Amino acid sequence: MKRLVYHSKQNRVTGVRIIDAQTKQERDYTARVVFLCASALESARILLNSGLANSSGQVGRNIMDHIKWGGASGQFDGWTDRRVIGERPNGIYVARFRNVSSRHPDFIRGYGFQGGADRSGWEAALHAPGIGRAFKARLSQLGPWTMIFAGFGEMLPREQNRATLHPTLVDAWGIPSLHIDCRWSDNELAMHRDMSVAAAELLEATGATHIEPSMSGPSTPGGTNHEMGTARMGRDPKTSVLNGWNQTWDVPNLL
């Protein structure tokens, strides 16, 4: 979609203008009410390219994503007569526990853990030395059960994390692209460090051995693909894009 079609005298969106992907011909589709549901970033791009709903200056601001790659893994003895079959055992989720009943000294808000159990199979010996019958026998042996916790943390909304129209870059259809400026704050980085500490503690409490906290750095904003923000909801049209019904303050029939 290229942009929203706006009737200034009526202060209404009358439809949308699209570009055919093959012929690159433009055409309009009309509607009495328009729901713009192109996800956080593309919705912001369409609004910015249309020059609409931005009297507050909040369109494109407060981009958020989940910070990840903090966590730990550990091994468990037993259950050697069990193996992974199909989608079982399934994944697990540990709901947020930080800053619920007591405040963490290093950060606000929190994170949850996704995780699961698995046993390494023949692929664990792919790079191991060996040849012949003994090596083939090794390929048929399953490794120990391993449990993994992977954290996904909340990102605080900050106006500095924003998307704007790129001054020169356009896409294949000549539509201005987004320029994104987004980075983690000290709060997210502290949360990421705590993920590995807490995951190791949880595994130790359950009897795991060979516990390995994640040593990798945090993900890059956008790398989790959970983009949020860019069209703030609020009670004041001076500081927000949408009211409590997802309706833009500036254009009543645009939601």
3-state secondary structure the chain: CCEEEEECCCCEEEEEEEECCCCCCEEEEECCCECCCCHHHHHHHHHHHHCCCCCCCCCCECCECCEEEEEEEEEECCCCCCCCECCECCCEEECCCCCCCCCCCCCCCCEEEEEEEEECCHHHHCCCCCCHHHHHHHHCCCCCEEEEEEEEECCCCCCCCEEEEEEEEECCCCCEEEEEECCCCHHHHHHHHHHHHHHHHHHHHCCCEEEEECCCCCCCCCCCCCCECCCCECCCCCCCCECCCCCECCCCCEC
Query: What's the pLDDT tens digit per position in 107-124?
Result: 999 999 999 999 888 777
Split at pLDDT 50, 70, 90, the class of 141 is confident
The number of residues in the chain equals: 255
Omega before residue 144 within 30° of 0, cis: no
Compute the mean pLDDT over every residue in the chain, rounded to the nearest whole number.
94
Q: Among the listed ranges 27-41, 87-101, 125-139, 232-246, which one has the minimum average pLDDT value? A: 125-139
User: pLDDT exceeding 70 applies to what percent of the chain?
Assistant: 100
* C-alpha distance from residue 3 to each of 43, 51, 54, 162 (Å): 10, 9, 14, 20
Is this prediction's pTM over 0.85? yes
Predicted local confidence at residue 130, as pLDDT: 83
Split at pLDDT 50, 70, 90, the class of 41 is very high
Predicted local confidence at residue 195, as pLDDT: 98
Split at pLDDT 50, 70, 90, the class of 52 is very high
Average pLDDT of the segment spanning 146-151: 96
Average pLDDT of the segment spanning 16-34: 95
Predicted local confidence at residue 121, as pLDDT: 81
Model confidence at 126: pLDDT above 80: no
Predicted local confidence at residue 114, as pLDDT: 97
Query: What's the pLDDT tens digit per position in 174-213?
Result: 999 999 999 999 999 999 999 999 999 999 999 999 999 9
